[in-house]
Structures are given as structure tokens and as C-alpha cells.
């Protein structure tokens, strides 16, 4: 799943949950229904993206950011010298 849509659906789920709790505790049925609607939309967006992406799994080429071996020599080990 693309990171952008995953973060959007996560934000929607968090927002919907908070609205639903505030509406349920405060007795504001409009806020409760709005929160549950937003939460349902977030679940739908997450499910829709998960259903859409299985064909692309395994086809992405791996991009390595570091070379397999370093061309630079190893650094010397650091040791503490005792004074005195």
C-alpha cells in the first residue's frame, strides 16, 4: 500500500474514533454518527487499497542504498590509554 494513502486512512480512522467517542460520551448523536461514518470510510479506503495492490507485490525492483562492500579500509580500533 502506498505510504500516502496508508497515512490518510490512518488519520481518518483516528479522527473518526475521536469524534465517535466524543459524540458518544457527550450525547451528541450527530458527532457520533459523523465519527462512525468517517471511521467506516477509513476502513473502506484501507480495504480498497489492500485489494488493489496484491498484483504489484514482488514486482518491485530492490534498490540498495549502500554498496555490497566498502572500498575504504577499516577504521582503527579505539582504545583507552591509562594516564599515569
Residue 74 included in any domain: no
Alpha carbon distance, N-terminus to C-terminus of the chain: 61
The residue whose grid cell reads 495492490 is 53
pLDDT in tens, 2-57: 566 568 889 999 999 999 999 999 889 999 999 999 999 999 988 888 887 655 55
Residue 6 included in any domain: no
pLDDT reported for residue 56:
52
Residues 6+ apart with CB under 8 A from 22: 28, 31, 35
pLDDT reported for residue 75:
79
Residue 76 included in any domain: no
pLDDT reported for residue 53:
64
Sequence length of the chain is: 84
Residue 37 included in any domain: yes
Domain that holds residue 25: 20-52
pTM of the entire structure? 0.56
Residue 36 included in any domain: yes
Q: Total structural domains in the chain?
A: 1
Residue 82 included in any domain: no
Residue 60 included in any domain: no
pLDDT reported for residue 37:
95
Amino acid at each position: 500500500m502506498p505510504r500516502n494513502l496508508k497515512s490518510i486512512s490512518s488519520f481518518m480512522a483516528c479522527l473518526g474514533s475521536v469524534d465517535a467517542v466524543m459524540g458518544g460520551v457527550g450525547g451528541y448523536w450527530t458527532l457520533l454518527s459523523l465519527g462512525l461514518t468517517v471511521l467506516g470510510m477509513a476502513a473502506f479506503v484501507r480495504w480498497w487499497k489492500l485489494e488493489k495492490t496484491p498484483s504489484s507485490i514482488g514486482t518491485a525492483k530492490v534498490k540498495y542504498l549502500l554498496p555490497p562492500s566498502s572500498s575504504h579500509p577499516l577504521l582503527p580500533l579505539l582504545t583507552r590509554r591509562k594516564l599515569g
